[in-house]
Structure 1
């Protein structure tokens, strides 16, 4: 794949072996190489190698976001680290003017989410949030219908999040509320974004009801599918 070198945007990636690298690699392919991941922060050796297997080059690896920004002349940075680190990684950009694509959600707690918003308001370069569901064809079609007035004035909306996939979510860092913020932040952030996008307005008041349900039955919380004797027959096993 070749691209006009004058048009190439060199980007850094925080979380090369996970979501950040996935966004960067898809961007590279979709833009014909114009978006070029040249450097990264990825503390896990295996995940770094895993990310490189699906890419034609090996981004230069740095031990921290600060080291990445100090060493590399970047046109932008993709932050795709685990949720609980988003604010910490974003703060490394203080005093700089590097555009940022921040994976949703903004962070894992309400207080840190508010700090991200405050940081972005004072930052002199763009900080964008990756609300990727806006690009789903069915939702773009619905947005077009609403904009044309095909169904008239919208008086009420209801979103139901039936997540029929993602058992693996409960076998990694996302299973811990302190790391992910919980599934309301992880998944419903899409629904709220789409709702605001569809309606092009903001709520005046907000009310919420919540319940907490445990996942895992009578198995110990630290048991992983790969170590469980029932992994071949359990309906919740990520192998099934």
Structure 2
């Protein structure tokens, strides 16, 4: 039996644990520490035999754990990881690994001093689509990648304005919430280091003069507003409670970044949070002199356009419904890591690099300047 400890039993880490137990039934939740311990015990019958603790320190001192998973709100990811890293226990860490520049440098320092093997929750990096794209590019079919255009038009963006995600102190902004995945899979596929970024964000839609703290159920326009959540199921309505046109609605609703890489090539990336339905898209084009490779995560289709012949190759990928097969890959990797059978395929260094890119993009957007992507000495 593989004994797991959980710090922050949120919905995302709950899904990861579900996939883990489906894939590897030898895994068992041994202990949990969460600010909602009593609520979790009362609402989830599957947790009745789990040991609950008020702190990680208590859990660590009283349990023999094979691995720890961190699923707190984003602003606590670094703080909790700093508690686990010195123990040497394998760690599964939700993204973003940090939400502030100070935290990303604290985590970098702790990572350099730790022997803990860390799997960061970057399912796109290990998805079947991204791995096939890298396989084709590494074969030399399209030549060396010299330009990338990547897009993430998020059709479920309402979550970033109706729920706790609207609090930028928790999220760190939407580069850290979404682009962190996209930057990471691009880094993986091109296999280069980013060196500079410039970025811009806009807030054109989700702003307004409705009172701070207003909930959809209390708004007189909740029957006509396109963003109203009153018709959602009760549990979801409770989570997505707040007006997205109130004066306290946080987060930009679109953003773009240009990233320069060490070879001199650059990536143009853009994300949007007010498109809906079929307008949703997540994917990229990788261009070399000999050809262009493009893929769409939502359709799980990959195409290669050859530049000097009329040939177009189409690949339909059996991606799965768990972040395009990525969650299954991550949980199996983490179990193998805990058993000493493998190393992490989505490391803390990957998480730190992506977080630094996002934080530098945020700084660039706020200051209107290019930002160097480097570990500053002042930290």
Q: State the TM-score, normalizing by the size of structure 1.
A: 0.85
1:37 to 15, 29, 33: 29
Q: Radius of gyration: which is bigger?
A: 2
Contact 2:7 2:72 in 1 (8 A): yes
2:158 to 146, 164, 167: 167
Please state whether the residue corresponding to 1:132 is helix, strand or coil. coil
Matched, 1:52 2:44: yes
The CA distance in 2 between the partners of 1:56 and 1:10, in whole Å, is 14
Unaligned runs of 5+ in 1: 1-7
Q: CA RMSD in A?
A: 2.3
The CA distance in 2 between the partners of 1:41 and 1:202, in whole Å, is 37
Matched, 1:187 2:178: yes
Contact 2:130 2:189 in 1 (8 A): no
* Residues 70 and 212 (structure 1), Cα distance of their counterparts in 2 relative to 1, 3 Å cut: farther
1:146-165 aligned within 5 A: 146-165=137-156
Q: Partner of 1:24 in structure 2?
A: 17
Structure with the larger strand share: 2
Q: Which consecutive aligned stretches of 4+ in structure 1 deviate over 6 angstroms post-superposition?
A: none
Matched, 1:207 2:197: yes
1:67 to 52, 58, 66: 58
Contact 1:16 1:51 in 2 (8 A): no
User: How far does the alpha carbon of each residue in 1:157-216 deviate from its partner, in whole angstroms, 9 at most, with x for none?
Assistant: 12112111131232222211111101111100011101110011112x312122241624
Q: Partner of 1:98 in structure 2?
A: 89
Contact 1:28 1:37 in 2 (8 A): no
Residues matched between the structures, number: 230
Return the offset for 1:132.
1.2
1:112 to 103, 119, 126: 103
The CA distance in 2 between the partners of 1:94 and 1:229, in whole Å, is 50
Return the offset for 1:38.
1.5
Q: Which moved more, 1:75-84 or 1:125-134?
A: 125-134
The CA distance in 2 between the partners of 1:153 and 1:57, in whole Å, is 54
Please state whether the residue corresponding to 1:207 is helix, strand or coil. strand
Unaligned runs of 5+ in 2: 233-379
The CA distance in 2 between the partners of 1:102 and 1:112, in whole Å, is 14
Greater relative contact order, per chain length (Cα 8 Å cut-off, separation 6+): 2
Return the offset for 1:62.
1.1
The CA distance in 1 between the partners of 2:143 and 2:42, in whole Å, is 49
Please state whether the residue corresponding to 1:187 is helix, strand or coil. helix
Contact 1:101 1:129 in 2 (8 A): yes
The CA distance in 2 between the partners of 1:234 and 1:189, in whole Å, is 31
User: How far does the alpha carbon of each residue in 1:43-78 deviate from its partner, in whole angstroms, 9 at most, with x for none?
Assistant: 12576258735x475422111122221121100101
User: How far does the alpha carbon of each residue in 1:96-135 deviate from its partner, in whole angstroms, 9 at most, with x for none?
Assistant: 2211111110121121112112111111221221111123
Contact 2:21 2:27 in 1 (8 A): yes
* Residues 49 and 140 (structure 1), Cα distance of their counterparts in 2 relative to 1, 3 Å cut: farther
